Amino acid sequence: MLSFRQLEVFRAVMLTGSISAAAHQLGIAQPTVTNTVRRLEDVLGALLFDRSGARLRPTALARQVFKVVNPSLAGFDHLTDQIAQIVRGHLASFGMGVSPSVSQGLAPRALKHFAADRPDVRIRMDTLARLHYTEYLWLAEGDCTVTIIRPDDPAIISHEIAAYSLVVVLPADHRLARRDSVAIQDIAAERLIAFHPVAPLDPMLRAMFAAEGLVPNVSVETRFAMTGPHLMREGFGIAVIDELSALGIHDPALRVLPLEGAPSQPVLLNYLRDNSVEPDIALIRRHLIRAAEELGCAIAPPQAAGVIAQSDSFR
């Protein structure tokens, strides 16, 4: 029966080209390598090396076996290295799940700063649908999430790390494009690309229209704010989206203007209570706050509550 040790020794001989070099790499005696290889050949019922010359020469069978064995054992080597890093107090990888709007600017900027501090960590950013925010953490698919919805789970800790509001996206030649901001009354007659009723921002927008006794002239609804500008280019009207999604707009043919009276909403860093002492959680929290300040979506100070600084992207 094949054993892990036999395959490990076989791989070392194939990689180094000799019994002595394999023994040195594995830290064992040469006779042990020789005997292990012979036992493996006995198990397989075939020779793996031609021993007729001064140097071992792999047979065709050995090369075929190596193609199967090497990837698996290389993966095991990587696994042991990751475990060793964790034991030393470092996460071998860092996964962050984000809502679609957060993926447009805030999360990439924060991860850039995080990577500069933690070049040894493999980083993954996963864009998540709303239904997957909680299970992403419970199934250990990642270490934290950054969302615009607070998880309804007592085992999940949430911190407000940024703020956002609603903005209006319209063509640069639109009649309202020269303004510094627009009000609900200004867009009441416009064909509007709005949020789908299940989208978290839909109640906010509809409440703003209702407060003025108006009904939005919706031409099309979308679940994801980032699709608004694309629909606008196809003639569906103007789009109302969130500031975070607007960070991904770099088209000079479009203008992004603040929507007057739109309430400020928090962006949340979420993680399981058990992970609260992880140093990388504290680090990403710090860099998310830093990124929010750089991008103009920082949480307003108490003395200026309700006033969110606008970055150049919204002017």
Q: Supply φ then ψ for residue 248, to 5 degrees.
A: -90, 5
Whole-number pLDDT of residue 85:
65
Question: Cα 205 to the chain's mean position, in Å?
Answer: 28
pLDDT tens for 233-282 read 888 999 999 999 999 888 888 999 999 999 999 999 999 988 766 789 99
H or E, element range at 158: strand 156-164
Whole-number pLDDT of residue 290:
96
Whole-number pLDDT of residue 238:
92
Whole-number pLDDT of residue 279:
86
The two three-digit tokens of residue 4, written as one number: 């892990």
pLDDT tens for 188-223 read 999 999 888 877 888 888 999 999 999 999 999 888
Whole-number pLDDT of residue 307:
34
Residues 181 and 203: their CA atoms lie apart, in Å, by: 21
Contacts of residue 34, defined as CB under 8 A and 6 or more positions apart, other chains included, come to 19
pTM here? 0.65
Whole-number pLDDT of residue 139:
83
Whole-number pLDDT of residue 180:
94
The two three-digit tokens of residue 238, written as one number: 């103007």
Q: What is the mean pLDDT of each run of 10 residues along the chain (315 residues)?
A: 90 91 93 94 92 82 90 80 67 86 94 94 90 87 92 92 94 92 93 84 90 92 85 89 90 92 94 81 95 90 38 34
267 backbone φψ class: left, alpha, beta (φ>0; ψ -120 to 50): beta
